[in-house]
Amino acid sequence: DPDAQGVEAEIARSGFSVTMIGSAPSELQDGVMMCHPDAEIRDAGAARLRSLIDAGEKLGALGVNIGRFRGTCIPGEMWETSNGWMRDAMRAGADYAAARGMKIYIEPYNRYETNFINTVRQGMEYVKEENHAGLALMIDSCWMNSEDASIPGAIFAARDWIEYVHVADSTRGYPGSAHIHFGDFIRALREIGYEGVLSVQIDQKPAFRVAAERSIRLLRCYL
């Protein structure tokens, strides 16, 4: 784990602010997640989420992103049970976040890595149903490209619920490197009155600085 004071000092030096704490490495690197057949893994996932929220609180973040870290529900006879595990874990995380003035942000994710909330509409309905001060909807343009029939249509449908936005092209490259039309994407966000963060969440190729510069250049064309 990075040294918290060192991270805070580096952030202050850079002039940037932290808007979101990512959770994907917890699943990718450590194998812990919120929903899993093994109770020890679920417990580790709950503890990890609390630690991520704590880190976010120290760094002034809005909250924690919940993407692949949520895991997946078990098809068949275990569906209802595992769906309950998922929802309970989400509520516990939302409770913990809300008590600290933060939120967990559910990200509709591709169908190959989770079966719990793939489309923006599903995410919107889930957040509406839960009606929890510590739970919010975020969107990701890359996953919308694969899961939603219309990117602008999904944005308009969830217009009252979108609180955070990940930007990436269809191959997870920098905006403008593939085929998503970001003019339509940004226009839809403008039309629903979105004024929140646009967070570029991409593979840092061909190099970090190059990808960052090209992302900024493309997005500035439409902002």
In tens, the pLDDT along 175-198 reads 999 999 999 999 999 999 999 999
Domains and CATH numbers, the chain: 1-106 (3.20.20.150), 140-223 (no CATH)
Query: Which structure tokens are listed for 43?
Result: 């417990």
Instruction: Give the pLDDT confidence score for residue 5 in this predicted structure.
Output: 82
Residue 172 has pLDDT above 70, yes or no: yes
Residue 104 has pLDDT above 90, yes or no: yes
Q: Please give the single-letter amino acid code of residue 139.
A: I
The side-by-side arrangement of strands in the sheet containing 20-21 is: 20-21, 63-66, 103-106, 135-140, 162-167, 198-200
Distance CA(137)–CA(164), nearest Å, equals 7
pLDDT tier at 1 (50, 70, 90 boundaries)? low
Distance CA(146)–CA(113), nearest Å, equals 12
In tens, the pLDDT along 48-92 reads 999 999 999 999 999 999 999 999 999 999 999 999 999 999 999
Residue 93 has pLDDT above 90, yes or no: yes
Distance CA(32)–CA(44), nearest Å, equals 6
